[in-house]
């Protein structure tokens, strides 16, 4: 069975504050002279390798895993499987 690499991106919903992103923006980026940058949001990425029959099966398996095991909080975060 083929092995697929699936990326899972977990980020805060737009209306949830992102103190880590704010700190990077204020203390590094703006002070570093990049005044054109308006905002930074931080996200986590999980890189998962799975055996599956197809790309669609691999995506669905990882999506189900993230939901069932609560790898993210659906009230606060968005989870994208790619």
- Give the chain's domain count: 1
Range of the domain at 38: 3-81
| pLDDT given for residue 82 in this prediction | 93
Confidence band of 6 (pLDDT split at 50, 70, 90) = very high
| Rg of the chain on CA atoms, in Å | 16
**How does pLDDT run across 64-79, given as a tens digit for each residue?**
999 999 999 999 999 9
**How does pLDDT run across 20-59, given as a tens digit for each residue?**
999 999 999 999 999 999 999 999 999 999 999 999 999 9
pTM for the full model?
0.83
| pLDDT given for residue 7 in this prediction | 98
Alpha carbons within 13 A on the beta-carbon side of 12 = 12
Helix (H) or strand (E) holding 79: strand 77-81
Q: In the structure encoding, which two tokens stand for residue 51, read together?
A: 């055996």
CATH number for position 21: 3.30.1280.10
Distance CA 13, CA 23 (A): 18
Please identify which residue in the block is written with the tokens 């570093």.
32
| pLDDT given for residue 62 in this prediction | 98
């Amino acid at each position: 069975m083929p092995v697929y690499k699936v990326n899972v991106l977990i980020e805060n919903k737009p209306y949830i504050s992102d103190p880590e992103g704010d700190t990077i923006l204020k203390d590094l980026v703006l002070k570093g002279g990049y005044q054109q940058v308006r905002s930074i949001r931080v996200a986590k990425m999980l890189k998962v390798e799975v055996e599956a029959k197809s790309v669609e099966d691999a995506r669905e398996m990882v999506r189900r895993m993230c939901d069932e095991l609560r790898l993210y909080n659906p009230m606060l975060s968005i989870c994208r499987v790619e």
